Amino acid sequence: MTLTKRDLVIRISEETGLIQTQVFEVVQKTLNYITEALAKGDKVELRNFGVFDVKIRKARVGRNPNKPETDVPIPVRAMVKFKAGKEMRAEVLKLTPKT
């Protein structure tokens, strides 16, 4: 199952009694501010949830699996990395299959 922005808005609206358009505006503004901070190269830390950070990946050489003899240069690029917070990590670990 996938949790979408729409699902979040509906759930928050039902739990708080706020109108869905108001909840949508708050959720969208939150995401916009996170995006804006990352676009400036800032780190975004949400306690007990996780940390978003921008990392620069080095240039490297890739290979086309259909033509392994051909090298494909992959340029330097900025990537968003996410590191889960302690509480999130603990909740996700509960999904680990028992052996």
pLDDT tens, position by position, 11-46: 999 999 999 999 999 999 999 999 999 999 999 999
Q: What percent of the chain has pLDDT over 70?
A: 100
What is the pLDDT confidence band of residue 70, given thresholds at 50, 70 and 90?
confident
pLDDT (tens digit per residue) in 78-87: 999 999 999 9
Tell me the three state secondary structure of residue 2: coil
- What percent of the chain shows pLDDT beyond 90? 84
- Class in CATH terms, 43-99: few secondary structures
Question: Where in the chain are the domains?
Answer: 1-40, 43-99
- Nearest alpha-carbon partner for 86 in 49, 44, 51, 53: 49
Residue 50 CB neighbours (<10 A): 17
Residues 6+ apart with CB under 8 A from 2: none
- pLDDT in the model for residue 85: 93
